[in-house]
Amino acid sequence: MSGVFKPATRQLILALSKGRIFEDTLPLLEAAGIRVTENPETSRKLILDTSDPDVRVIIVRASDVPTYVQYGAADFGVAGKDVLLEHGGEGLYQPIDLNIARCRMSVAVHAGFDYETAVRQGARLRVATKFVQTAREHFAAKGVHVDLIKLYGSMELAPLVGLSDAIVDVVSTGSTLRANNLVEVEKIMDISSRLVVNQAALKLKRERLQPILAAFERASRIEK
Ligand code: ATP
Ligand code: PRP
Ligand code: MG
């Protein structure tokens, strides 16, 4: 028999999505002394090793991160506030705003559409979005009647082809809106990504998780 016995409470799985969340989490992991040794873009692997034999990273869709963490298939993960609001917080502990993948959730319309007048006149608006919960709450709070149309991406297209009057989407530089002749008419909220931790893992794996959480906390504070 070879190898060292490792109790399951030492093994950690971190759920990340490819792209900006993966890239922006790497420096935080490095602050915790953890280096991801494989590149998900080139390797096509979904389970990545790190320099710490107890820590592995799984690659999932951005909107699936809360699900993996909620069910304990991952011990912790990184997800945008937009995604977390849609998913709901059940089974998830959200200790740290990592201040990464920052953007805002906004309402946008075609440049030729008079949103203010439509709202003032009490028109019923068709709104296309991936973020139906957030959109529903926003328009309900304003007292605006909306028909929500659920999309999974390319929201900017909807007003251009007459699918909707408005969209609710995330905006950062505004260049996607500009490129499609849309204008931002209302900011709903600022968005950033949060660390989410499985509530059972937080108790059972506290010894291993705590130093990583502390390093993430320090690094996300210093960087911004
Ligand atoms: P999928 O590709 O699976 O549909 P996604 O488009 O939501 O998912 P990403 O684009 O990687 O995946 O976005 C991850 C998170 O980053 C989002 O939940 C949001 O919080 C944030 N985000 C999205 N777009 C931007 C942006 N342009 N600038 C900064 N942050 C962004
Ligand atoms: C996101 C979002 C917007 C765009 C906003 O798309 O869905 O389309 O960023 O950013 P901007 O204001 O800087 O243009 P993303 O880059 O994630 O591409 P995706 O369509 O693959 O999600
Ligand atoms: Mg995206």
Does any ligand 1 atom lie closer than 6 A to the CB of residue 89?
no
- Return the pLDDT at 132: 98
Does any ligand 2 atom lie closer than 6 A to the CB of residue 143?
no
Q: How far is 39 from 134, CA to CA, in rounded Å?
A: 33
Encode 30-40: b = buried (16+ Cβ within 10 Å), e = exposed. Answer: ebbebebeeeb
Q: Is the ipTM of this complex over 0.95?
A: yes
Which residue among 17, 61, 100, 176 is best mutated to probe the pocket of ligand 2, counting the most ligand atoms within 8 A of its Cβ?
A: 176
Angle at which helices 206-223 and 20-31 pack, to 10 degrees? 110
Does any ligand 2 atom lie closer than 6 A to the CB of residue 170?
yes
Cα radius of gyration rounded to whole Å, the chain: 20
Nearest ligand to the C-alpha atom of residue 80: 1
Spacing, Cα 133 to ligand 2 middle (Å): 19
Which residue among 21, 130, 171, 181 is best mutated to probe the pocket of ligand 2, counting the most ligand atoms within 8 A of its Cβ?
A: 171
| pLDDT in single tens digits along all 224 residues of the chain | 445 666 687 899 999 999 999 999 999 999 999 999 999 999 999 999 999 999 999 999 999 999 999 999 999 999 999 999 999 988 899 989 999 999 999 999 999 999 999 999 999 999 999 999 999 999 999 999 999 999 999 999 999 999 999 999 999 999 999 999 999 999 999 999 999 999 999 999 999 999 999 999 999 986 44
Domains of the chain: 12-102+192-223 (3.40.190.10), 103-190 (3.40.190.10)
Give how far Cα 13 sits from Cα of 28, 57, 69, 109, Å. 15, 6, 9, 41
Spacing, Cα 9 to ligand 1 middle (Å): 31
Structure tokens at 49: 């090793």
Location of structure tokens 């709901």: 88
Spacing, Cα 52 to ligand 2 middle (Å): 33
Does any ligand 2 atom lie closer than 6 A to the CB of residue 172?
yes
Q: How far is 193 from 4, CA to CA, in rounded Å?
A: 36
Three-state helix/strand/coil letters over the chain: CCCCCCCHHHCEEEEECCCHHHHHHHHHHHHCCCCECCCHHHHCCCEEEECCCCEEEEECCHHHHHHHHHCCCCCEEEEEHHHHHHHCCCCEEEEEEEEEEEEEEEEEEECCCCHHHHHHCCCCEEEEECCHHHHHHHHHHHCCCEEEEECCCCCCHHHHCCCCCEEEEEECCCHHHHHCCEEEEEEEEEEEEEEEEEHHHHHHCHHHHHHHHHHHHHHHHHHC
Does any ligand 1 atom lie closer than 6 A to the CB of residue 191?
yes
- Return the pLDDT at 9: 79
Nearest ligand to the C-alpha atom of residue 62: 1
Give how far Cα 30 sits from Cα of 33, 98, 136, 200, 218, Å. 5, 14, 39, 25, 12
Spacing, Cα 121 to ligand 2 middle (Å): 31
